[in-house]
């Protein structure tokens, strides 16, 4: 779907990478290694994205670095679209959907608040009967793809609701803070 929207699989891959690493800059050879793509095609697509003002470049020495143009008029919309489809949300959601027994899963913390930075990990809450080993294996694959650490907090549904009922400070804070739902409906989490 995203390759049709973004014209090509390569463009979707580049946008997914840059909008998952908005505070970082990369040169072509670096991207070639990270994305396992041909440098000629990468250079061509980076130039197109720069001409569309989605990316900007800066030259340092003999290297030309590219990064996301945060002044692009549709930066927030593009970031949201990439985030939900091929970026953080899409990648983690696709991984978790392979694990049976998960009732609810959501991202909380800096990513959910849109306050992430280069070193931010991704805080992930998983509630249900999912196999923890299987879940960690799937999340490890997502970490490799995103090149981000994903910190998983996992509870059974019963345990989560008991902690919420006992007004556990961590659980109450997570419940009141912004979250990005991956599996389930946030309005149903606290219901008995």
Confidence of residue 87 (pLDDT cuts 50, 70, 90): confident
Q: Is residue 152 part of a domain?
A: yes
Does residue 27 share a domain with residue 48?
Answer: yes
The overall average pLDDT reported for the chain is 88
For residue 90, the model assigns a pLDDT of 84
For residue 12, the model assigns a pLDDT of 85
Given 46, 77, 108, the domain boundary residue is 77
Name the residue among 101, 128, 132 with its Cα closest to residue 189. Answer: 128
Does residue 121 share a domain with residue 30?
Answer: no
Given 77, 102, 126, the domain boundary residue is 77
Q: What is the CATH number of the domain that holds 100?
A: 3.30.460.10
For residue 5, the model assigns a pLDDT of 53
Provide mean pLDDT across the span 59-78: 93
Provide mean pLDDT across the span 15-24: 88
Confidence of residue 113 (pLDDT cuts 50, 70, 90): confident
Does residue 152 share a domain with residue 59?
Answer: no
Give the residue numbers spanning the domain of 166: 87-188
Q: Is residue 129 part of a domain?
A: yes
CA geometry: angle at 118 spanning 114 and 122, to 5°?
55
For residue 192, the model assigns a pLDDT of 58
Q: Where are the alpha helices (DSSP H) in the chain?
A: 2-5, 9-20, 28-35, 39-51, 75-85, 88-96, 132-146, 157-165, 169-176
Does the pLDDT of residue 121 top 70, yes or no? yes
Does residue 58 share a domain with residue 21?
Answer: yes
Q: What is the CATH number of the domain that holds 69?
A: 1.10.10.10
Q: Is residue 49 part of a domain?
A: yes
Does the pLDDT of residue 2 top 60, yes or no? no
Q: Is the distance from CB of 148 to CB of 22 less than 8 angstroms?
A: no
Does the pLDDT of residue 22 top 90, yes or no? no
- Gap between the Cα atoms of 21 and 147, Å rounded: 9
Cα–Cα distances in angstroms (integers) from residue 119 to residues 57, 61, 99, 127, in the given order: 22, 26, 27, 26
Q: Is residue 34 part of a domain?
A: yes
Least confident of 7-16, 25-34, 94-103, 176-185: 7-16
pTM: 0.70
Given 77, 104, 121, the domain boundary residue is 77
Confidence of residue 16 (pLDDT cuts 50, 70, 90): confident
Provide mean pLDDT across the span 54-67: 95
Confidence of residue 130 (pLDDT cuts 50, 70, 90): confident
Does the pLDDT of residue 177 top 50, yes or no? yes
Q: Is the distance from CB of 134 to CB of 99 less than 8 angstroms?
A: yes
Does residue 65 share a domain with residue 92?
Answer: no
Q: Is residue 183 part of a domain?
A: yes
Q: Is residue 11 part of a domain?
A: yes
Q: Is residue 82 part of a domain?
A: no
Does residue 73 share a domain with residue 92?
Answer: no
- Gap between the Cα atoms of 53 and 71, Å rounded: 9
Does residue 53 share a domain with residue 73?
Answer: yes
Does residue 184 share a domain with residue 91?
Answer: yes
Provide the domain count of the chain: 2
What three-state secondary structure class fits 66? Answer: strand
Does residue 114 share a domain with residue 71?
Answer: no
For residue 119, the model assigns a pLDDT of 78
């Amino acid at each position: 779907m995203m390759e049709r929207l973004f014209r090509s699989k390569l463009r979707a891959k580049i946008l997914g990478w840059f909008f998952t690493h908005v505070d970082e800059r990369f040169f072509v050879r670096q991207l070639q290694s990270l994305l396992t793509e041909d440098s000629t095609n990468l250079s061509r697509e980076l130039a197109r994205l720069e001409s569309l003002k989605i990316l900007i470049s800066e030259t340092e020495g003999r290297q030309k670095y590219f990064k996301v143009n945060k002044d692009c008029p549709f930066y927030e919309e593009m970031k949201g679209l990439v985030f939900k489809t091929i970026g953080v949300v899409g990648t983690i959601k696709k991984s978790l959907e392979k694990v049976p027994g998960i009732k609810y899963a959501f991202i909380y913390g800096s990513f959910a608040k849109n306050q992430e930075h280069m070193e931010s990990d991704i805080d992930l809450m998983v509630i249900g009967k999912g196999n923890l080993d299987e879940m960690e294996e799937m999340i490890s694959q997502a970490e490799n793809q995103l090149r981000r650490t994903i910190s998983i907090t996992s509870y059974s549904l019963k345990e989560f609701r008991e902690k919420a009922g006992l007004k556990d400070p961590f659980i109450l804070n997570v419940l009141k803070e912004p979250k990005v739902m991956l599996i389930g409906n946030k309005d149903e989490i606290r219901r008995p």
